[in-house]
Chains A and B, each alone.
Chain A
Amino acid sequence: MVEMIPSVGRELLYREAINEALKQEMRLDDNVIIMGEEIAGGAGREHLGIQDAWGGPFRTTVGLIQEFGNERVLDTPLSEAGFMGAAIGASSTGLRVIAELMFVDFMGVCWDQLINNAAKMRYMFGGQVEVPFTMLTRIGAGFGSAAQHSESFYSLFSHMPGLKGVVPSDAYTAKGLLTAAIRDNDPVIYFEHKGLYTQPSLVPEETYVLPLGKARTLKSGSGITLVGISKMTWVCMDAAAELDKLGIDAEVIDLLSVSPIDYDHIIESVKKTHALVVVDEDTPVCSIASDICARVAEEAFDYLDAPPTKVTAPHTPVPYSRVLEDQYVPNVPRVVTTVKSLYEGYR
C-alpha cells in the first residue's frame, strides 16, 4: 500500500510532477498518446526548426514531443468537441488517450462527448467497451482571468455516473493520481489547479499509483474536521494553524478525489471531531461541498454538535477586479471565522 504522504523523494514542482508522470507512462505503454491545444505548440513547423514552442500552456507537457514524436503527441486545432470525441473514440478502440482541455470553463463546447459518450458507452453498450480516457483540465481563480478562465466546477463531472475525477493538491498527489488516472480503465477527469503549478513537494523518482477515491488526512485533530479540495486544502492547513492558536484542534482532510468521494474517511473523522467545515472553491449550489454536508448529516447525524457547514465561492461568476476576486475565493480568515462561529453557537 503506497503511503498518502511521501517520506522520500526529491523536491519537484506540481507541474514538473505532472510532466514526469506523463513521460513515465508514455514510456511504459506505447498505447498512451496525448492530444490537446498547444501541448507542444508551433505545430507543423519542424522544417523551420520549431518544435515544442510552448511545451503546453502551463509547461506541463514540455519535452513530450521530442521524446515521443508527433504521432503520440498531437497538437489539435481549436476543436474541443471534435478532438475530445476523437480521443474517446480512440480510447474505446485500443489506445489509452490523454486529452487536454485548456481550462475547465471551455467544457461547454465538448460537454456532449464527455457525458453522452465517454461516461455512458460502457453502460449503454452492456460492458462491451472500456474507455481508458484521461482528460486533463485546469481550475482555479485568483489570477485576474475573469469569468471564463477561472472556474472550478468539478462538481458537474462528479454528477455524471461513468466519470471519475481527481483534484491533486501537491506535486506528490499530482504524480500519483495522474499515473492512476492514465492506467485506469474508466474515463478520469484530472483537475490541475493553476495556483499550485509552482508549489514544490517531495516526489519519488520511480513511478507510483495513488488510489482513486481515497482522501488523506494531513493533520490530525479532535476539535473540528476541515475538508479541503485541491488548493483549498492549503487554506484549511493555514486555517488550522490559526485555530490552533485559539485552542481549537482541527483535523484537515485533503479530498483528492471528487468521484468517487471518500465519504467514509470524512465520516470517520466527524465521528471523532463532531463538527465539519468543507472548504471548496467551486460555487455552492449542488456542489461537492453541499453533497458532503448532506452525506454527513444523513449518516453521522447523531455525532454532530453543529450543522455541517461550507465555506465556498459565492453563487456568482468569477469577477475580474482584484478587490472582487479576493472576496470570491475562500480564504483563511473566512474559514477561521466560520469555525469560531460554530464553536460559539453550538458548544
Chain B
Amino acid sequence: MELNKEGLLHLYKVMSTIRHFEERGIPETGQRGMSASVHSSVGQEAVPAGVCAHLSSEDYIGSTHRGHGHCIAKGVDPKAMMAELFGRASGPNKGKGGSMHIADMTKGMLGTNGVVAASIPLAVGAALTSKIKKLNRVAVAFFGDGAANQGVLHESMNLAAVWQLPVIFCCENNGYAESTPFEYASSVEALSDRAASYDMPGFNVDGMDVFAVYEAAGLAIERARAGDGPSLLECKTYRYYGHTVFDDPLTYRTKEEEDYYKSRDPLKLFREKVLPEGEISQSELDSIDTDCLNLMEEAVEFADSSPMPEVSDLYVDVYSDYPISMMKRGTNMSI
C-alpha cells in the first residue's frame, strides 16, 4: 500500500481499530467471565499496522498470544473476533479458540498462538509452500521479546536462511516477557544483532512510529518477494497494560518509563507527524476514532446476540475423519 492520503488514513484506521478493540473488547470479555487468557496490545498498534500495510490477504502471518492487532491489521473482521472472545459460534474459530488462537485462513492469518514462539516455524512452512508452489507470497512471523530466546526461533531463522525462504521475522520487543525485562533475559542489547548469525539483514526500528515500521518492513518484504530470503525486523515498542489484565506492571517497571512511552503513543505520533502536513485534517482522524468506537459497540452487540456453540460441537473438528464414539469411549460423557 502506498502512503498517499488513502494509505495514511488506512494506517490510522488500523491502529485506531486495534486500540478500540482492546479497550472495549478485553473488559467486555472479562465481564463475561472469560478474561484469564486475554492479552492487550494497546501501545503496540504501530507494528502490525506498519507491517501488514505491505501484505495482501494472500500473504501469511503467524502471531502470538498478544495477537488481536495482527488479526485486525491482516483484515480479520473485528466483530467476528469479538464473538470469538465471547466464546460464540460466530467467531472465526466457532468459539473453539478464543483470544489466543484466532485464525482466519481466508486472510492468511495462521493463528494467534498460546505457546511462546510456537507459530514462528508455521510461518516458515507457509513460506516454503509459497516457494515450492511459486505463489510469490511472503510470510511474517510476529513474536515478542520473550520468544527471542526460544530455540525454535533460532532453528526457524537458520532454516529460512538455508532455504532462502520469503519470511520476515518480526519481533515486537515490548521490553518484558511477562515480568522479566529484556535486558535481563537476552545476551544482546538489540535482538536485531542476532540477524548476523543467520546471514540475514537485521532492522531495528522505533516500534511506536508507524512510519519507521512501515519503511523497514517494506524493505524486508520487498527483499523476501524478490527471492532474496528472510530478514529480522526488531520493533521496539511498549504495552501499556500488564502481561494479562490481572497483573500490575508497576510491580516490575516504573511510572516514568510508562509515561515516556505513552508520550510517544503511536496514534499520537501519527497525528503529530501527519496533521502539520495539512493533507489530512484532525476531524478526519477524529471521525475514524468515532467510527471505531461505534464499530466496537456493534461488535459487542453482534457477539452477544450470536449463538453459543452446540454442546455436541465438543467432538467436531478434532479430526477430518475419526469416530466420535472413540472420542468418548470409556469416559462416561453425558453427551
Interface residues of A (CB under 8 A from B): 31, 33, 71-72, 74, 76-77, 79, 81-95, 97, 112-113, 116-117, 121-130, 161-162, 164, 184-186, 213, 260-261, 263, 294-295, 298
Contact = CB atoms under 8 A, between A and B. Distances in A.
A31 B121 CA distance: 19
A294 B156 contact: no
Interface string B150-174: 0110011011001100000000000
A82 B330 contact: no
Given A123-B96, A125-B96, A117 B152 contact: no
A115 to B, nearest CB: 9
Contact of B319 (A33, A79, A93, A186): A186
B133 interface: yes
Given A92-B125, A95-B133, A125 B103 contact: yes
A130 B105 CA distance: 11
A330 B235 CA distance: 57
B196 interface: no
Interface in B297-335: 316-323, 326-327, 329-330
Nearest to B108: A93
10 contacts: A71-B132, A85-B124, A85-B125, A88-B121, A92-B126, A126-B95, A130-B320, A184-B321, A213-B326, A263-B326
B111 interface: yes
Given A91-B125, A122-B317, A125-B111, 14 more contacts: A76-B159, A81-B152, A82-B152, A85-B120, A86-B156, A112-B118, A123-B317, A124-B111, A126-B92, A126-B95, A127-B94, A128-B104, A128-B105, A162-B318
Interface residues of B, number: 52
Contact of B125 (A86, A261, A298): A86
B80 to A, nearest CB: 11
A211 to B, nearest CB: 11
B111 to A, nearest CB: 6
A298 B330 contact: yes
Contacts, number: 164
B320 A94 contact: no
Contacts of A85: 118, 120-122, 124-125, 152, 156
What 3 A-B pairs come out closest when comparing CB atoms? A89-B125, A85-B121, A82-B155
B93 interface: yes
B105 A90 contact: no
B97 interface: yes
B111 A121 contact: yes
B36 interface: no
B128 interface: yes
A89 B132 contact: no
Contacts of A122: 317-320
Contacts of B121: 81-86, 88-89, 113
Given A86-B128, A263-B329, A295-B330, A93 B321 contact: no
A298 B101 CA distance: 37
B124 A89 contact: yes
B97 A126 contact: yes
Contacts of A116: 113-115, 118
A162 B319 contact: yes
A14 B60 CA distance: 39
A295 B329 contact: yes
Interface string B56-70: 000010100000000
A86 B124 contact: yes
B91 interface: yes
B318 A79 contact: no
B96 A82 contact: no
A105 B316 CA distance: 32
Contacts of A82: 121, 124, 152, 155-156, 158-159
B123 interface: yes
B129 interface: yes
A126 B126 contact: no
Contact of A93 (B60, B96, B323): B60
A259 to B, nearest CB: 8
Nearest to A125: B103
Interface string B207-228: 0000000000000000000000
Nearest to B125: A89
Nearest to A84: B121
A260 B327 CA distance: 9
A126 B330 contact: no
B232 interface: no
Contacts of B316: 127
B138 interface: no
Contacts of B132: 33, 71-72, 90, 95
